[in-house]
Amino acid sequence: MHENAPQAYPDPDEPQPDEIARPDPRWLWATLAGGALIMLLAGTSAYLQRDGAPTGDPLERARDYAARHEYRAAVIEYKNLLQDEPLNAQARRELGELYLTLGDAEAAAKELRVAGEYGYSAAGLLEAWLALGRYEEVLEHADELDSDDARINVAAGKALLGLARFDEAEALFTKIADRFPDYGGPRLGLAQLAYIRRDIEAALELAGTVGPEDRGYPDARKLIGEIALEGGQYAEAKKAFRTALEQRPNDI
């Protein structure tokens, strides 16, 4: 700068750089969060209103989505329904069962516990507790519940397996299988017990009798896949695991 050049002084009436207001970061985060929420709600709305989406009663829509294995949409429908009808125990039971399918045992236990307070079977709740490793609680409650419910008895047998009480589990599974010959649950339990005891031939034979109509079918296919993988039968293992994942897409 030339030594004779006039020196520039700041105008006292103009805001200086340090005095210019900066955005409040809390406002910025609130704006971003609000925008994200709007996008999420818009995406959810578009998903539920797409072509081919079920229409009609909310409970029927949720069931239709679940039957089509569109589990995300089904969960949204159930939750929306329960916001409007928090005392709808049937919807809570079905949502809890859906959470079981998705492998979210904590959420399943929460919904199924409430449904049980309204008189629905506790079988699903016991299965959620099994997934959480709460074996003693399963046995305690199974003793208090309906001994004619095959699903409850199978849950008790699996709790015995989890506690390594293998002889008791075998006796219970055998009793249930004799009493409910068309139900695959006890045969799956015996297959899992045979696998634990390394009787691979018996495990495969028993698991193979559990059909797609049985609740335990994905677990039976998983067991077959694990045995095939151990034996180096990779194509067979892949096939079995794929079938299991088609039934329970979140069961990694």
**What pLDDT sits at residue 27?**
42
CA distance 91 to 58: 10
**What pLDDT sits at residue 55?**
60
Q: At what angle do helices 135-144 and 150-162 cross, to 10 degrees?
A: 150
Sign of the torsion formed by the C-alpha atoms of 129, 68, 115 and 185: negative
Dump pLDDT digits (tens) for 141-159: 988 776 788 999 999 999 9
Q: Where are the domains of the chain?
A: 30-120
In 83-146, DSSP assigns E strands to: none
**Whose CA is closest to 127, among 95, 162, 155?**
155
**Whose CA is closest to 155, among 135, 177, 175, 182?**
135
CA distance 218 to 114: 26
User: Does the domain at residues 30-120 carry the CATH identifier 1.25.40.10?
Assistant: yes
> Global pTM?
0.73
Residues in the chain: 252
Dump pLDDT digits (tens) for 54-94: 567 899 999 999 999 899 999 999 999 999 999 999 999 99
CA distance 219 to 127: 13
**What pLDDT sits at residue 53?**
57
- pLDDT < 50: residue spans in the chain: 1-12, 14-46, 48
CA distance 177 to 187: 7
